[in-house]
Amino acid sequence: MNKATVINNVDHKNLKVDTRLNPNLKVNRSVVYTTEIGELHKEFPLIFFKDPDGKTQLHAILGLAKDENLFIGDNGWTTRFVPALLARGPFSLGYKKSVKESDQQDPVICIDMEDPRVNIEAGEDVFLPFGGEAPYLNYVKKALQTIDSGIHFDKTLFTLIESMDLLEPVAINIKLSNVEEVNFSDYYTVDQEKLSNLDSENLAKLNQFGVLSLLYFVLSSMGNFQTLIELKNAKSAMY
């Protein structure tokens, strides 16, 4: 169980995170947020998923087999951008209790001290020797901010596309060899025809909320399945 502790540069001045030990990276997909579509569409296929409760999510596809991340090499990620949920490591955001219920809660950075990556001997420093935030912590903070703002922006994106019926089921069949075939089902993508045929009022609404360009980014990201195929074939050729 995650036991989150608020970090500070006194009690945790020697804290390190071994980023090499990350079992969470061995996944073939990751939930991603609206706030990172602008970056992630350049690297990964992005497709929508509806969970058993009907809740919409956006996923980045990382591999073509179970527990396979084709974007991880011997030295870590091979991509320029990393999904925030995987980049945050053992950190999370918490919120201080306000004196008044009407006051806005201030976010604080927490760490799971029982996570095996957390130690005081090896890995990335969390704080600098004189108490400042280390580059790694700044990297984590950006990921946490992306998640925090993305949770709110997701509601806007999903509400708009569902109210305009802009999603369509997508069946992705990838043939890697004469015997190996990969199928993706229960996924959705943007219905390009419906999007193109929207009236001016709905187009203006999508543009007003900053959603229109993101939908085209999601559509363009489908071309990244070809990158996955090339990475998979290169990996298979090594064995």
pLDDT of residue 200: 96
Residues whose CB is less than 8 angstroms from the CB of residue 229 and which lie 6 or more positions away in sequence, other chains included = 64, 174, 176
Q: With a cut of 60, say whether residue 103 has pLDDT above it.
A: no
Q: With a cut of 60, say whether residue 1 has pLDDT above it.
A: no
Mean pLDDT of the chain: 89
CB 183 within 8 A of CB 172: yes
Q: What is the tens place of the pLDDT at every residue in 32-42?
A: 999 999 999 99
pLDDT of residue 62: 95
CB 137 within 8 A of CB 9: no
Q: With a cut of 90, say whether residue 202 has pLDDT above it.
A: yes
C-alpha distances in Å from residue 58, one per residue of 9, 51, 113, 128: 35, 11, 29, 36
Helix axes 212-221, 200-208, angle to 10 degrees: 90
pTM of the predicted model as reported, rounded to 2 decimal places: 0.89
Q: What is the tens place of the pLDDT at every residue in 124-163?
A: 999 999 889 999 999 999 999 999 999 999 999 999 999 9
Domain assignments of the chain as residue spans, ordered by start: 4-237
pLDDT of residue 135: 96
pLDDT of residue 190: 96
CB 97 within 8 A of CB 108: no
Strand, helix or coil for residue 160: helix
Helix or strand run (H / E) with residue 159: helix 135-163
Strand, helix or coil for residue 170: strand
Q: What is the tens place of the pLDDT at every residue in 162-198?
A: 999 999 998 877 777 655 667 777 899 999 999 999 9
DSSP secondary structure letters along 180-216: -EEEEEEEEEE-HHHHHT--HHHHHHHHHTT-HHHHH
Q: What is the tens place of the pLDDT at every residue in 160-172?
A: 999 999 999 988 7
Cα within 13 Å of Cα(48), Cβ side: 24
> Would you state the structure tokens that stand for residue 72, as one six-digit string?
């991880």
C-alpha distances in Å from residue 151, one per residue of 1, 9, 34, 148, 239: 23, 28, 8, 6, 41
Q: How far apart are CA 39 and CA 203, in angstroms?
A: 23
